[in-house]
Structure 1
Amino acid sequence: MSEGVEWALHSCLNLAWIGSERAVTAARLAAYHELPAAYLNKQLQALSRAGIVGSVSGPKGGFRLARPLDRITLMDVVAAIEGPDEAFRCTEIRQQGPGAGPAEGYAAECAIAGAMGRAELAWRRELASRTLESLREEAERQAPAAPDRIRRWFENN
């Protein structure tokens, strides 16, 4: 999974703490964590295409959340950034090279592909069961001062 997922998740939480009445530019969101603005902007555009954030034009433009945190799952963010493809793709290498047998010997699913598919399904289900609201609550338990600190930084910078 790319670092863009981490950046996107933090940006969503920061936008939530800043408030829906304010749009924030990609450059300002990037500056808060000292990230490359152009790359973060690509992540924000992907979130916008997925309907997770909205883009606001004009001098006070930027990004803000497009829907409440309890309606955005971690899987929504991962899929927006990484795309819908499965993480593991079996290319049937067991059918190649000197150890390959006749094609009829490969009727059953590859054991490795099956195991990886089940693991990915469990991973996707877990991500789909967690909302950004539950992540926000956990983050605030761990760092209760973070929301105010973030709001103040964005108000003053």
Structure 2
Amino acid sequence: MRMSKGVEWALHTLINLDVIGGGPMHSGRLAEAHGLSPSYLTKQLQQLAQAGLVSSVSGPHGGFRLARALEDITLLDVVEAIEGDVKAFHCTEIRCEGKIGALSPPPTRTCAVHAAMRRAEDAWRQALAAQTLAGIRADLNVTPAAARLVRKALD
């Protein structure tokens, strides 16, 4: 499965917002800090806002801020916010098509390929749901010096 760059951008942005105390931070500054397209990152932030992961603050010191603690945000939350919750595999019942389909009796069970792919995708989604952004931030081991660098990059 291939995910868009937006998932990576969203994950780093959420963690950076946490590093600076939750926000708010203007999307342009967040984009500039990583050399990203401001319009594309704003789109990701709007999708995160629709999913309730960030909120928008208006005004001269506004921007986006975390709407939930990193402990309450999973990788699955972010993937679904950016990519949607559409299943990756779509069975088209190819087993019923062409000469094989014409010569075979109609199926009475779920397609075994479909069932196997669904099990694999369900396991992937469960693994994403089990990983919080707080765990990722802990793995990053953001030292006070590193946090200062992130704040400086966002100034």
TM over 0.5: yes
Instruction: Flag as ranges the 4+ runs of structure 1 deviating above 4 A.
Output: none
TM-score, structure 1 as length reference: 0.89
Helix, strand or coil at the partner of 1:151:
helix
Q: 1:47 to 1:103 in 2, by over 3 A?
A: farther
| Residue segments in structure 1 that go unaligned for 5+ positions in a row | none
Identity level (%): 51
Q: Superposed, which structure 2 residues align to 1:53-72 within 5 Å?
A: 53-72=54-73
Match of 2:12 among 1, 10, 19: 10
Q: CA deviation at 1:102?
A: 6.2
CA-based RMSD = 1.6
1:96 equivalent in structure 2: 97
Question: Corresponding residue for 2:77?
Answer: 76
2: distance between equivalents of 1:24 and 1:57? 11
Q: Secondary structure at the match of 1:119?
A: helix
Task: Give the corresponding residue for 2:148.
Answer: 148
> 1:49-76 CA deviation, whole Å, 9 max, x = no partner?
1110010111111101001110111111
Distance 2:148 2:124 in 1: 32
Alpha-carbon spacing, 1:94–1:59, altered in 2? closer, same or farther (3 Å)? same
Moved more, 60-69 or 84-93: 84-93
How far the C-alpha of 1:36 sits from its partner, in A, is 1.1
Alpha-carbon distance in 1 for matches of 2:34, 2:104:
53
Q: What does residue 113 of structure 1 align with?
A: 114
**Mean CA deviation greater in 86-95 or 117-126:** 86-95
Q: How many residues align?
A: 152
Partner of 1:127: 128
Alpha-carbon distance, 1:150 to partner = 0.5
Query: What CA distance in whole angstroms lies between the structure 2 residues aligned with 1:34 and 1:153?
Result: 11
Give a deviation string over 1:76-135, Cα, whole Å, max 9, x none.
111111111111111112222232136853222222211111111111111111111001
For the pair 1:137 / 2:126, whether they are aligned, the reply is no
State the Cα distance separating 1:13 from its structure 2 match: 0.4
Letter of the aligned partner of 1:133 in structure 2?
Answer: A
Conservation of the 8 A alpha-carbon contact between 2:28 and 2:38:
yes
